[in-house]
Amino acid sequence: MHILFATSEAAPFSKTGGLADVCGALPKALSQLGHKATIVTPLYKCVREYFERSGERLTPLRGVALDVRVGAVVKGAGVRCAKLAGSDVDVYFIEHDDYFYRDGLYNYQGVDYGDNCERYSFFCRAVLELIAALELDVDVLHANDWQTGLLPVFLEAAYKSRSRFASEPASYFGVRPRLADPELPPNRFDKIKSVLTLHNMRHQGRFWRGAMELTGLDWSYFSYDKMEFYGQLNLLKSGIVFSDAITTVSPSYAQEIQTEAFGEKLQGVLQNRAADLTGILNGVDVDDWNPATDRFIAANYDVDTVLENKPKCKAALQEQLGLPVEARTPLFGVVSRFDEQKGLDLIADLAGEFIEKENAQFAILGSGDRALTDRFMALAARYPRNFAVRATFSVELSHQIEAGADVFLMPSRYEPCGLNQMYSLRYGTLPLVRDVGGLRDSVVNASDENIDAGIADGFIFYWGTADDMAKAMHWALHCYRRRPNDWAKMMKTAMSLDLSWEQSARKYAELYEKLIG
Ligand code: ADP
Ligand code: GLC
């Protein structure tokens, strides 16, 4: 099978969050299972910088110039290509500097670019033009999040010679979907199945209805059962309606998003497609996140040496952050986007109490929301011996916190999957999480039964309030201080889990196979 991933970010080239990790790792895992996997992603400024820094090869595809339709005009796109390190995966970068050579991926200093709809509509069409230009034999087109939500739409409405949307709605609305480019071999796209993965329902790509013009699609598609959403154009909804299958990144989130509490107003659309919706838990890139080989941490360790060497990582982290180097002082770690989603305000609410009564330490890395950053900065100023915050993006420090902390905090309000709790498990740093989404699916609570059964590997709180989180933190501290044998057992349980991408990749492969029959 040949699976082509279209994504607005892919690690290590471009990244704002977990989407990039997934789109860098899943294709690699599929290719290791013997499938052909290809990635297509924009050539951003940071991608060029990555290649300059790393010295890896980024080859221009000479002679390949894509004609990409944007509304009524056609714009050119160049293509460059590279290999994903350590794999057979081809990565094609779509080059159009007006759209992509910018400082941020989606926004600048917190303000979204005004032309995001145009940029990603262009990108989606460019992906399809690339398939045509290189005559790629693709079985599955795998889109991710709102940025590529138009891909299944274009595939169905403008590239296939026979669209399943052509027959019924076509006669109903009088639409006549046709090939955008009559020179294309008529059948190249016909066999392609589309999959859309929902990494986060909060971000939907909602735009003024006039943006429909940019898509070049007939206005009849702007209807409540297709691309329209409360008077706006909604790219994520469009993708959900038009793709052959929909996945999301954990089984629990797949259920949650069909309810009002988590569906972000698309629960009805998702209920309609429930039969085609699956949740597959993300994996971990076990080469990148391996305490036995991690080059960023003070001492390497595995399940046999964790008790001896993890404390060295803790001491190094404390020292680096200017916290007193004390082996038995409990250290809570956080690596996160500062966003309402992540529930970090609960940590800001509780830190003072845990510092004053328990002498706990906090090591926090993240960036985003201004008000939350200010609250954390104020705590750091008030408690310099206990509270350290670094408001930046640092891969190195993120590894050091994963290795050095005792407990990793993730009180998310919602969490489609979450990767950091899984990185924590690999590093023997017990995660303390809210009972939601992928957190629920990846952490086993330290109840007495679970500890006895040897399956506990973290702490879960259920109600999402500060009180409730405080109880879980107190329980974690109790176990840490008074039940060292149980703690060691939980660390080892966590570190022995198989969190690799292989298992998840097999589930995706099964789904693709079912789709293409
Ligand atoms: P989300 O995608 O919602 O942000 P995930 O847990 O899926 O959450 O993934 C977040 C990814 O981004 C992880 O790889 C995490 O280590 C990384 N990350 C987030 N903030 C930072 C930061 N400030 N510095 C380094 N890495 C970060
Ligand atoms: C999103 C979600 C996160 C998930 C990631 C990768 O950013 O917020 O929970 O792990 O996508 O799927």
Cα–Cα distance, 175 to 348 (Å, whole number): 54
Bond before 416 cis per omega within 30 degrees: no
Q: How many residues does the chain have?
A: 517
Every domain of the chain and the residues it spans: 2-283+502-516, 306-499
pLDDT of residue 92: 98
pLDDT at 439 over 70: yes
Mean pLDDT of 470-484: 98
pLDDT of residue 139: 98
> 497: CA distance to ligand 2 center in Å?
20
Task: Report whether 213 contacts 70 (CB < 8 A).
Answer: no
Atom of ligand 1 nearest to the CA of 342: 3
pLDDT of residue 187: 65
Lowest mean pLDDT among 41-55, 174-188, 395-409: 174-188
Question: Quick one: what percent of the chain has pLDDT higher than 70?
Answer: 95
> 390: CA distance to ligand 1 center in Å?
14
pLDDT of residue 159: 87
Mean pLDDT of 98-125: 96
Residue type, 174: G
Helix-then-strand count for the chain, H and E: 20, 20
Enter the pTM of the model. 0.94
pLDDT of residue 455: 98
Atom of ligand 1 nearest to the CA of 420: 6
What lines the ligand 2 site, CB under 6 Å? 17-19, 22, 199-200, 249, 282, 415-419, 438
Q: Which of 144, 282, 341, when mutated, tests ligand 2's pocket best, judged by the most ligand atoms within 8 Å of its CB?
A: 282
Mean pLDDT of 70-74: 90
pLDDT of residue 158: 86
Query: Sorting pLDDT into bands at 50, 70 and 90, what band is 163?
Result: low
> 366: CA distance to ligand 1 center in Å?
8
pLDDT at 45 over 70: yes
pLDDT tens for each residue of 246-299: 999 999 999 999 999 999 999 999 999 999 999 999 999 998 899 999 999 999
Mean pLDDT of 164-193: 53
Which residues does residue 337 pair with via DSSP β-bridges, in sequence order?
Answer: 367
> 387: CA distance to ligand 2 center in Å?
27
pLDDT at 154 over 80: yes
- Regarding beta strands 193-198 and 59-70, do their DSSP bridges make them parallel or antiparallel, or are they unpaired? unpaired
Distances (CA, A) of 292 to 86, 138, 301, 310, 402: 19, 38, 5, 11, 13
Question: Quick one: what percent of the chain has pLDDT higher than 90?
Answer: 91
Selection from 457, 251, 437 nearest residue 342 by Cα: 437
Selection from 177, 180, 79, 179 nearest residue 127 by Cα: 79
pLDDT of residue 315: 98
306-499 placed in CATH 3.90.700.10 = no
Please check whether the two domains, 2-283+502-516 and 306-499, share a CATH topology: yes
CA dihedral 141, 142, 144, 149 (to 10 degrees): 30
Selection from 108, 47, 55 nearest residue 78 by Cα: 47
Mean pLDDT of 133-146: 97
Phi-psi label, residue 394: left if phi above 0, alpha if psi -120 to 50, beta otherwise = beta
> 121: CA distance to ligand 2 center in Å?
22
pLDDT at 166 over 90: no
pLDDT of residue 100: 98
Atom of ligand 1 nearest to the CA of 390: 23
> 20: CA distance to ligand 1 center in Å?
9
Cα–Cα distance, 289 to 399 (Å, whole number): 8
pLDDT at 176 over 50: no
Mean pLDDT of 53-59: 95
Say yes or no: CB of residue 202 within 6 Å of ligand 1. Answer: no
Q: Which of 420, 427, 429, 433, when mutated, tests ligand 1's pocket best, judged by the most ligand atoms within 8 Å of its CB?
A: 420
pLDDT of residue 441: 98
Query: Sorting pLDDT into bands at 50, 70 and 90, what band is 175?
Result: very low
Nearest bound ligand to the CA of residue 285: 1
Nearest bound ligand to the CA of residue 203: 2
pLDDT at 436 over 50: yes
> 198: CA distance to ligand 2 center in Å?
9
Cα–Cα distance, 72 to 216 (Å, whole number): 7
Tell me, which fold does domain 2-283+502-516 have in CATH?
Rossmann fold (3.40.50)
> 414: CA distance to ligand 2 center in Å?
10
pLDDT at 162 over 90: no
Mean pLDDT of 293-312: 98
Mean pLDDT of the residues in the chain: 94
pLDDT tens for each residue of 183-242: 445 668 999 999 999 999 999 999 999 999 999 998 999 999 999 999 999 999 999 999
pLDDT of residue 170: 34
Task: Give me the helix-helix angle, 395-404 and 306-320, nearest 10°.
Answer: 130
pLDDT of residue 188: 83
Cα–Cα distance, 11 to 226 (Å, whole number): 32
Q: Which of 16, 147, 203, 336, when mutated, tests ligand 1's pocket best, judged by the most ligand atoms within 8 Å of its CB?
A: 336
